[in-house]
Amino acid sequence: MIRHDSPITPLGQLMQKSLFLLALGLVACAPADNSAGVVRSGGDRDASTTQDAPGDDEDAGGGSVPAPSPTPEPEPAPDWDEPEPEPEPDWDDPEAEPDPDWDDPEATSDHPPIGKITGIQRARVKGYAFDPDIGADPVSVYIYINGEEVAEGLASLRMKRRPRGHRSVGPFHKFSVSVPRMPKGKHTIEVVIPDYASDGEVVDFEGATLGPKTKRFKRR
């Protein structure tokens, strides 16, 4: 600090002038620096704001680049080598052939029917008949006289004893069928037994023939 009570030398006066001019220069430069600082600070704020909110640049005419729209997926090219599907069959079509039923095999017989004619009267034919394939179930019998069918019956009567060699079929296989009265003379009698499968279905209506037996009646 300069004291005014001491004499000022020429060098001191020169220094005072220099300090005075330097002070004037600082004062003159201070507003411009502050303004620049304000502008610079403001610019920093604008820059930070612009980074946080892209919409501000658009309002100020910044011209931000819009987000690209999604690209649609391309459609797959048609497969020209793929054959056309075959149409489903029309099951209501009467001409359509049904599938074979492999679970329904044809009925078969393992054993032929067995029987015997035990008695011939003018108006009755007796005997027994059975089919081992149907066991204890009765069989039908058809009576033929002189080659003509004259009667039909069922072999379901009780026998005196079970058939030899076939005890498992039981005793109810006897038949006694009424026939038209045979006149005097010689007659040929036959009994036809159908052949059955194990399910009771007839597989052959002429499975076995009992006879022929010949019977002669002397009286009218």
Alpha-carbon span 95 to 85, nearest angstrom:
22
Rounded to 10 degrees, what is the CA torsion of 28, 30, 31, 37?
150
Predicted pLDDT at 16: 74
Geometric angle at alpha carbon 30, from 24 and 31, rounded to 5°: 120
CA distances from 219 to 35, 184, 189 (A): 163, 5, 18
Contact between 104 and 192 (Cβ < 8 Å): no
**Domain 114-217 fold:** Immunoglobulin-like (2.60.40)
Tokens matching residue 132: 């081992």
The per-residue DSSP string of 11-45 comes to HHHHHHHHHHHHHHHHHHHHHHHHHHHHHHHHHHH
CA distances from 110 to 16, 106, 107, 194, 197 (A): 149, 13, 10, 13, 7
Residue pair 202/182 in contact by the 8 Å Cβ criterion: no
In the block, tokens 């076995």 appear at: 208
Can you give the pLDDT of all 220 residues of the chain as single tens digits?
Answer: 445 555 566 677 777 777 777 777 666 665 544 444 444 444 444 444 444 444 444 444 455 666 767 777 777 766 666 667 676 766 565 555 555 454 545 556 689 999 999 999 999 999 999 999 999 999 999 999 999 999 999 999 999 988 887 888 999 999 999 999 999 999 999 999 999 999 999 999 999 999 999 999 998 7
